[in-house]
Amino acid sequence: MKINFVSLALIMTSHIAIGQTHTAQIEQITVTASGNERALSQLSSNLSIINEDEIAVIAPQHINQTLVRVPGTWISRGNGQEHLTAIRSPVLTGAGGCGAFFMAQDGISLRAPGFCNTNQLFDANTEQAERIEVLRGPASTLYGSNAVHGVVNIITPNAFEQNKAALGMSVGPNDYVSSNFTLGSVNKTQAFMIYGNGAHDGGYKDDSGFEQQKINAIHQYQGNNWSIKSVVSATNLNQQTAGFIKGDEAYKDPVLKTQNPNPEAFRDSQTFRAYSDLRLQSNDHTQYRLTPYVRWTDMAFLQHYLPWQSLEENSQQGAGIKASIEKQIDHVTWMVGLDVDMTEGRLTETQANDFSAAIPAGQHYDYTVDAIVYSPYSNVHWTINDDFSLTAGIRYDATRLDYNNHLSAGSACESSVDNCRFTRPDDTKVKYNEWSYQLGANYAFADSQLLYAQFSNGYRAPQATELFRLQAGQSLADLAPEQLNAVELGYRGQWSNVFYDLTAFSMQKDHFIFQDTNKHNISDGKTSHHGLEFLLNFQLANNFYVKLNGTIANHTYDAELTLSRANINGNEIDTAPQHMGSAQLGWENDQGKLVELEWIHLGNYYLNPENSAEYAGHNLLNFRVKLELDNHWSVGARLLNIMDEDYAERADYSFGSYRYFVGEPRSLFLSARYTF
């Protein structure tokens, strides 16, 4: 692929003074990259933050509209609330591709280890988060399995800062209506808040749309030494899913782009989480922390992307605890902890009608997996002097999976069928024992001018679906955990009203798990990932600001994998744009008036391992305005895809055909909010 003129212009402008409305960003408090509260200036790794004010301006209908402002990150939008993720990676698909990302709320994984879901970000109330923190690259020493290519951590609000009530509503095309509310109460030692939102979308495509509800409740206690934050979260999604449209550049066809080839497709999902974060500050140098939690999910959906359209139902229920002690001794801060997660997961797959003798009607799979993960870890932060600090971390993960098949073992077809698509393994137990580690350094060579460097290791154990949902006669998936070794070097700083963060990275992945051309799950793949990411924010004169982020990266196959009949060693990985980014030019004053123009760029990318099919990429323009009319009322408008560009949210090539999720045309959304 070649870098086009638009992306070259984006790179060339990266040296100018560019920034945002908030100064002193380098001292903002974060938690995701260190496991505890620490200023951005103290980190030895990258970290990007989208705060609640920016989320309110975006007023997203989908999570990809928010995370497009994070370098190296692309949340590929499917239909409705569905999505796939890329963080310093291609868009990863397949049974366990989602296992490369750790998606969390307040540091607690949205799904249990080994039971990821590609769409799991719709399990969290990202629309009303205090902030969303994104860590790019491996972070397994802090989060264990799945923190391979990146971490997305949704931070819930501080109830002590929410002593108000508010109601909001938005309307848009295709009968889109959403509403949200916040209620809060605060006294000297306790605070309570409840907040939530709901949305109805009639769908741009035929026979599509969704209903979604999210609600959170928070209680906080703050004493002399104790602090407790308890959170309850629940979500519900009922979606009529529109499938891919097919044909080369079908997304440009005015007739095809609104059609739904799969009007029978749907997705229903419900989740519940509850946890308490208990902290005891026994003295100025020692903090004890304990976080017990429970987690429950239930989902059913039609696999419309497969020609035989089987029904999958999956669920999980479990509990866990995170315990740690952090102690400061002179210039060394040391943390030691233990994470334990216990989960029972279940999956069934059923097909209503015979597709062929090898793909018959009936139950293909019905199994449960009891999983337990023990993870002791330790992290050290050593402040050598005012300018130089070192970090180190190590973690050991012991994963145990107990698989129980509830159907007959072996082929799901009649005995006379030799090439049955579906294979059910015998009951078995699987275990993995893995180490991960991290070394980092942070050097301030001038006031608020920082160099940071990190060597880190990430891993993920195979997901349950990769191990036990086998095909084409494979009776045992002898899979090794994926391993990713990464080096990054960054330059972060703030000068006057300018904030900048530039990061170069190089990553090598071993034991890449994939399904080969024989439909067998194997783990002998290798891939490499190299790139440059930048974030530049600047407050201009007269209340103007500019924000710019971008990524130039190369993701390639590093071995002669059997993903294809052809030799693909050295080819670019499919659905891995070499360049992408966004820019926002805005004006905001102290009276709450804001106007913003946004440009989104997604580069071209290949659609298959052979690199013979390609999507050309796209550029979009959006416009947003927000007005605070008085102390109670605020209104806003968002005009998305101003130029009415024909584009694909996601392009794909499978089963011998180009396939697309179509981007929506020019759309106007209006909103109002009342605070009392």
Report the CATH superfamily, name and number, of domain 5-675.
TonB-dependent receptor, beta-barrel domain (2.40.170.20)
Rounded mean pLDDT, 530-546: 96
The predicted-structure confidence for 62-81, as pLDDT tens digits, reads as follows 999 999 999 999 999 999 99
- At residue 2, the pLDDT reads 43
- At residue 15, the pLDDT reads 38
141's enclosing H/E stretch is: helix 140-143
**Lowest model confidence (mean pLDDT) among 162-166, 233-237, 597-601:** 162-166
Distances (CA, A) of 87 to 11, 136, 418, 457: 20, 6, 40, 16
- At residue 12, the pLDDT reads 37
Domain ranges of the chain: 5-675
In whole numbers, what is the pLDDT of the chain averaged over residues?
A: 94
The predicted-structure confidence for 429-439, as pLDDT tens digits, reads as follows 999 999 999 99
Band of residue 5 on the pLDDT scale cut at 50, 70, 90: very low
The predicted-structure confidence for 503-536, as pLDDT tens digits, reads as follows 999 999 999 999 888 889 999 899 999 999 999 9
How many C-beta atoms surround the C-beta of residue 27 within 10 A? 12
Residue 496 has pLDDT above 90, yes or no: no
The predicted-structure confidence for 554-570, as pLDDT tens digits, reads as follows 999 998 777 777 889 99
Please tell me the distance from the alpha carbon of residue 35 to that of residue 123, in angstroms, as a whole number: 22
Please tell me the distance from the alpha carbon of residue 194 to that of residue 399, in angstroms, as a whole number: 36
- Checking DSSP bridges between strand 101-105 and strand 150-155, what pairing results, if any? parallel
Tokens standing for 38? 């620490």
The predicted-structure confidence for 100-111, as pLDDT tens digits, reads as follows 999 999 999 999
The predicted-structure confidence for 180-221, as pLDDT tens digits, reads as follows 999 999 999 999 999 999 999 999 999 999 999 999 999 999
Please tell me the distance from the alpha carbon of residue 412 to that of residue 425, in angstroms, as a whole number: 11
Residue 425 has pLDDT above 50, yes or no: yes
b/e sequence 490-514, b meaning 16+ C-beta within 10 Å: bebbbeebbbbbbbbbebebbbbbb
The predicted-structure confidence for 387-411, as pLDDT tens digits, reads as follows 999 999 999 999 999 999 999 999 9
Residue 18 has pLDDT above 70, yes or no: no
The predicted-structure confidence for 607-643, as pLDDT tens digits, reads as follows 999 999 999 999 999 999 999 999 999 999 999 999 9
DSSP secondary structure letters along 280-342: EEEETTEEEEEEEEEEEEEEEEE-TTSTT--EEEEEEEEEEEEEEEEEEETTEEEEEEEEEEE
- At residue 115, the pLDDT reads 95
SS3 content of the chain, % helix, strand, coil (to 5): 10, 55, 35
The residue among 364, 213, 350, 237 whose CA lies nearest residue 297 is: 237
Rounded mean pLDDT, 148-158: 98
- At residue 589, the pLDDT reads 94
Rounded mean pLDDT, 128-147: 97
Q: What is the pTM of this model?
A: 0.95
Distances (CA, A) of 159 to 193, 492, 565, 651: 6, 31, 57, 42
Band of residue 163 on the pLDDT scale cut at 50, 70, 90: confident
- At residue 9, the pLDDT reads 43
The predicted-structure confidence for 302-348, as pLDDT tens digits, reads as follows 999 899 999 999 999 999 999 999 999 999 999 999 999 999 999 99
Please tell me the distance from the alpha carbon of residue 89 to that of residue 66, in angstroms, as a whole number: 18
Residue percentage of the chain with pLDDT more than 70: 96
Band of residue 372 on the pLDDT scale cut at 50, 70, 90: very high
Contact status, residue 140 vs residue 436, Cβ threshold 8 Å: yes
